[in-house]
Copies of this chain bind each other. A is one copy, B any other.
């Protein structure tokens, strides 16, 4: 059990010991803590050792000079130069927000980046400024293209966020796989099983063994539709930004042969461009959906992001629980 402030400081110190500046260490620690607070530990402290391993092997550059190139008033390209993904994405979304505030719309590509955690963390920054945000990022091979028996596309999340109620953000943030790869990694780490029907082993048989699933293929949500969307994300975030694509993004946990070269694409625009009453209307929209007759056993129809937000609110003033294994990793990293 850790107090939030204490854990934030510990993680921040670990990054600083790995030559991060204090600003970069703080941003990175915040994204990791946020994942714990919203109930996505697969994207939280359990990844800290991996990040440190990659820094030690010079695959993540703690002192990367991140370059922002202005293409037009609305459009910018961020070259992350192998910085940690958190910092690159933070700069990317902030640039997109700044462009959108000036011109109504911001389009920002980020190249040579790395895994940045949850898209919803960055989407939230746009929502806080009354902006709509769409974000795409590619990832290491996890999903087979439709008809293929080998993984190539990442879980390649797509995220959309909208300002709505004052404090309740509508954020759809979903990988294109049936379940997050991070969840499978945590299961593998803790020796737990994964649900039936979400992954195949390397021989093409359905498996509930997390380790075998990681060696095999994850199944896309919605079959060929999910596989097609994962392909779209690979093009938007990989091909378009000039980053790695078509299976060349390196797995951060297993592949230390080079930097990840992940790409991100952020599209941000003002929510009230066409409709001054956007917030009122989205509130009406959500209320209408919530009033629908429910299926048996359902007590509330929730909008995308609501559960994460509720967990966040609920966890905000509580201690953070880390699994034994993850806590041990943290303590080792602190003593190194």
Q: In whole Å, how far is A289's beta carbon from the nearest beta carbon of chain B?
A: 5
A300 to chain B: which residues have CB within 8 Å?
147
Q: In whole Å, how far is A123's beta carbon from the nearest beta carbon of chain B?
A: 12
Cβ-closest chain B residue relative to A148? B292
Task: Please tell me if A4 contacts chain B, counting CB pairs below 8 Å.
Answer: no
Task: Give the size category of A's interface with B.
Answer: 35 or more
A193 to chain B: which residues have CB within 8 Å?
none
A232 to chain B: which residues have CB within 8 Å?
160, 172, 304
A225 to chain B: which residues have CB within 8 Å?
174, 221-222, 226
Task: Please tell me if A86 contacts chain B, counting CB pairs below 8 Å.
Answer: no
Q: Are B226 and A222 in contact (CB under 8 A)?
A: yes
Q: Are A295 and B239 in contact (CB under 8 A)?
A: no
Cβ-closest chain B residue relative to A292? B148
Complex Cα gap A281–B226 (Å): 22
A160 to chain B: which residues have CB within 8 Å?
232, 236
Q: Are A246 and B289 in contact (CB under 8 A)?
A: yes
A235 to chain B: which residues have CB within 8 Å?
162, 170, 282, 285
In the assembled complex, 9 residue pairs joining A and B whose CB atoms fall closer than 8 Å, in A order, are A105-B107, A111-B274, A132-B240, A147-B295, A148-B301, A149-B295, A232-B304, A238-B285, A239-B275
A148-B301, A235-B282, A246-B289 known; 17 new pairs, CB 8 Å cut-off, are: A71-B104, A75-B273, A77-B273, A104-B107, A149-B294, A149-B295, A150-B292, A152-B289, A170-B235, A172-B232, A231-B304, A234-B285, A239-B285, A241-B275, A242-B281, A246-B284, A246-B285
